[in-house]
Structure 1
Amino acid sequence: MADTTQYRSRDKLRELQSDRLRDIVEYARENVPFYRETLDDAGISPADVDSTEDIRSLPFTTKADFRETYPDGLFAVDDVDVRRIHASSGTTGKPKIVAYTDADLELWNEVMARSLAAAGLDSSDTVQNAYGYGLFTGGLGFHAGAEALGATVIPTGSGNTQRQVELARDLESDALCCTPSYALYFAETAEEMNIDPRELPLSTVLYGAEPCTEPMREAIEERLGVRGYENYGLSELIGPGVAVECAAQEGLHIWEDHFYPEVIDPRTGEPVPEGEEGELVLTSLTKEALPVLRYRTGDLTTLTRKQCECGRTMARMDGVTGRADDLLIVRGVNCYPSQIESVVLEFDAVAPYYRIDLYRDDNLDRLELTIELEDEFDGDRDRLRSEILDRLGNALSFTPDDLELAEYGTIGRTEVGKVKRVYDHR
C-alpha cells in the first residue's frame, strides 16, 4: 500500500501531529518519572496540551538529562518489553543509552525504508552498507530499512576498504551507505587500486552521521560519478531515518508525522522565524521505549514548510551547518568548522582533507589550519596559500595564524567511525 502520509495537506498533518503530541505527553508523564517531575515543576498537565501550538510550553530535554539519568532513567517500558539497546559514541563522557520495543523497531524500519525510497531506491537495488554495526545506530538502521524496502543488502560494515571496492565492482552495488568522509576515502582507495571509481556500478551514495557541506557533496558526486543524498538522524530520537533528501536535493524532508521539528535561538530558547538558522529541537511523537519531548539536538539548521517540487508536504531542514557546541571562538570571533570547510573546498587545487588545531599562547587564541594539496599538485604554493587566506579572511572576518599546505595523503583517513577535524589543545 502506498505511503500517502508524506503528501498529506498541512492541515491534515497538523491534526495528526496534535493528536499524537497529546498522547505522547500523557504517555511520557505516566511512564517516565523524569517527565512527571519536569512537567509538574513547570506546572504543565497533559490536559494543557491541545495542539502543536502548545508545544512551546513544554520544557526542553537536553544531553545533560540523558547523562544524569544514565543508563535507563528515561525508559518508559520495563526491561521485558525492550527488544534492542543502542548507544551514542560517548565521546564526551557516558554514552546515551537508547531502547526500542517491537513497535519501535517496526517504526524505524518504516522511516528508513521511506528515506531510502525518497532518495530513489527501490526493491531492485543492491545496497552496500558501510556503516558500522553494533551499538552505533547507523549499521542496523540502514540494513533493516533496506530490507524493509525489499532491496538486496551487502552488510560490509565499516573498514576493509579495498575489499569494499572489490565487492562494489563484483556484486554491482547500486548504492553505498556511509559517512561523507568515508565516501571520499572509498574513491581514493579505488584510485590507488587503479580502478576508476566513476566506472563502478554505484549510482547513489546515502551519507550521514557527519556534517557535509555543499562543496563536499559535489566532490563525492564528481569523484564517484553518483548522486549523493544526505540522511539525518540521532540515537536519542531513533537513529538514522529522521530526515532525508529527495531527488530535488533542496533540503531534507523531516518525517514529521513521527518527529515534530522546531528551530530555536540556541541562546534564548525562543523560536526563530521560518528560514532563519537556529538549533533544531525534535519531539518523538510515536516512540514507545524512549519518548523524548523537545530534545535540543545541538544541530544548527533552517526549516521550511513550503511544499517541495517532489510533492511531499513535510517540512524540510537544510543540511546541518554545525553544532551549537562545535562553535569555535577565536579572538572573539565566532565560526564553525563547516564554514572553514566550505571555503577550503572552493579550491580545486586542494584535496577534501583538512585539520584545525587550536592553541592558547599568553591568553591569546591561535588557530592553525592544515590543508592537503591535490595529488601531483605542481602549481605556485605561495600564491595558492595567499588566495586561501584572503578568501578565509573575507568569509570569516579573521585568518588562521598559520596555514600549512601539506602533501597529498598527509592527513590521516578514517575508515571506521566519524572523522575528526578539530583538535582543541587549549
Structure 2
Amino acid sequence: MTLSFITGGTSGFPKFVRYTKERWLRVVDVKARMLVEAGIGPSSRVLVMHPMAPWSIGQVFFEGAATLGAQVFPVGLSLRAATLSRLLDDFAPTVICAGGRNLARVLQSLELRSQQELARCVELVLTAGELLEQDVRAELRRLLECDVRDIYGCAELDALAIEGASAGIMHLVPDYQYRLLVDGTTEALVVGRCGQLEVCDQQRGREWHNTGDQVMILAPECSDNPWGTPNIRIEGRTDLVVAFGDGCAVGQRQLLELTTTAGLSKAQLQVTRSPKGDSVVLMCSLGTGLSDAQAIERQFLDLCTDFADALQAGCIKAFTVRLADDSSDFWDTERSKTPDIVTRMSTPGSHSSA
C-alpha cells in the first residue's frame, strides 16, 4: 500500500508525500501522543477544521484523535457559515484543531449565538499549518475564552513539536533525530544556537530533511517538556524569499523586522509578475505602531535598500503600500495559509507562494 498526499505549496509548487502503511500508522501515533499530552481523551469532542485530501493534515488529526476514543467531527473548510453554525450547536466541541487565522475568520462569520455557545463548551484550540502569530492567538482567546496551543510540523514528516504551557516554546517529539544548519555547517542542538532545523527519520533511512525553518534552541528549564527533548522557538522560514529581475531580493526576515519596527500586526508582500516587470504591493494590517502608509513605505525601503535601489532604477514596475481593511485583503494559498510573501503571474486567479 502507498498513500499519496501533497505538500501545501507555501514555499513552492506542491510535491508528493508518499506513505507506506507502516509510516502512516506511525505519524498518526505521533499525533495521538501529542493530543494526549494536550489533554485529549475519550471524553473529548474534537472538531477538525483542517483541509482534507489531497493534503494529509486533516486526516492525521482526525485519525489521531479517533484512536484515543474521542468523538471526532472532521468538518474541513468548505461549509457555509449558516450550516456550520447549526452543526456546531449539535456537536458542541470541547477541542478545535484548525489553522489559527482561518479559525478566527470562521468564528467571526458565525452567528453571535453560535459564538457564545462555542465559548461555553470549547476548552482548547490546537492550531497548526502556519506559525501562530500573537494577534491571532489573542483573537482566538478573546472569542473562545480558552487555552490556545500551537503544533509545529511540515508536510514531509507531519508533526514535529507541540507548544507547552509557555507560549512560543515547542517540545520536539522524540521520534526523530534533529540537527541545525548554521552558515552551511551542521551542528547539534545546543542551547542558544539558531539555525535551520534538519530532521532525520531513521526508520526511513539516513536522509536528512531541511524544514526551511529557522529555530532557536532553548534551555530545558524553560517549560514542562513531557519527553525530555530539546525545546525550540520558531523564528521564521528561511526559504520565503522573492527575487526580482535585477537580482535584488526580499525575504521573510525583512518583513518580520518591518512588523516589529513599524508596530504592524501583519505584513504580506504581494508580487504580480508580468513580462513588462514586477508590480509589488505591501499589504499591512495595523497594530500599535505606524498608521500612515507613506511612513510604512519609508520604513520598508530603509530596511530593503537593494529593493529601493531597483525601484528607483525602474527595474520594478510599481510599488504600493496598502492598509488592509480585513483579512480578505491578504492572499491565501489553496490550503488557506497566509504566507508573508506571495507571487502570482499577471493572468487573473493564478498565484503561488515565493
Quote the residue 2:91 is aligned against: 171
Q: What aligned pairs does 1:218-229 form with structure 2 within 5 A after superposition?
A: 218-229=138-149
CA contact (8 A) 2:293 2:323 kept: no
Asked if 1:293 is matched to 2:207, the reply is: yes
RMSD: 3.8
Letter in structure 1 aligned against 2:210: R
Q: What aligned pairs does 1:207-246 form with structure 2 within 5 A after superposition?
A: 207-237=127-157, 239=158, 241-246=159-164
Q: What aligned pairs does 1:341-420 form with structure 2 within 5 A after superposition?
A: 342-343=259-260, 355-358=268-271, 368-371=281-284, 384-385=291-292, 389=296, 396=303, 402-408=320-326, 411=329, 417-420=335-338
Q: Shift in Å at residue 150 of structure 1?
A: 1.9
CA contact (8 A) 1:129 1:139 kept: yes
State the distance in 1 between where 2:284 and 2:112 align: 25
Q: 1:316 to 1:174 in 2, by over 3 A?
A: same
Quote the residue 2:25 is aligned against: 106
State the distance in 2 between where 1:371 and 1:403 align: 7
DSSP-derived class of the 2:150 partner: strand
Asked if 1:183 is matched to 2:98, the reply is: no
Q: Shift in Å at residue 179 of structure 1?
A: 1.3
CA contact (8 A) 1:90 1:96 kept: no
The CA deviation string for residues 16-45 of structure 1, in whole angstroms up to 9 with x for no partner, is xxxxxxxxxxxxxxxxxxxxxxxxxxxxxx
State the distance in 1 between where 2:80 and 2:328 align: 18
Q: Shift in Å at residue 171 of structure 1?
A: 1.5
State the distance in 2 between where 1:324 and 1:250 align: 18
State the distance in 1 between where 2:257 and 2:269 align: 9
State the distance in 2 between where 1:111 and 1:176 align: 18
Which of residues 49, 52, 67 is equivalent to 1:148? 67
Unpaired stretches in structure 2, ≥5 consecutive residues: 309-318, 346-354
Q: How many residues in Structure 1 have an aligned counterpart in Structure 2?
A: 322
The CA deviation string for residues 331-364 of structure 1, in whole angstroms up to 9 with x for no partner, is 66754376168549956xx7x6x54224799x99
TM-score by length of 1: 0.64
Unpaired stretches in structure 1, ≥5 consecutive residues: 1-81, 375-382
Q: Shift in Å at residue 126 of structure 1?
A: 0.5
Q: 1:197 to 1:387 in 2, by over 3 A?
A: farther
Q: 1:129 to 1:395 in 2, by over 3 A?
A: farther
CA contact (8 A) 2:212 2:237 kept: yes
State the distance in 2 between where 1:140 and 1:425 align: 29
Asked if 1:128 is matched to 2:44, the reply is: no
The CA deviation string for residues 239-290 of structure 1, in whole angstroms up to 9 with x for no partner, is 2x3211123335111112x11111212x41332753332111001133xxx4
CA contact (8 A) 2:89 2:114 kept: no
Q: 1:188 to 1:144 in 2, by over 3 A?
A: same
The CA deviation string for residues 36-77 of structure 1, in whole angstroms up to 9 with x for no partner, is xxxxxxxxxxxxxxxxxxxxxxxxxxxxxxxxxxxxxxxxxx
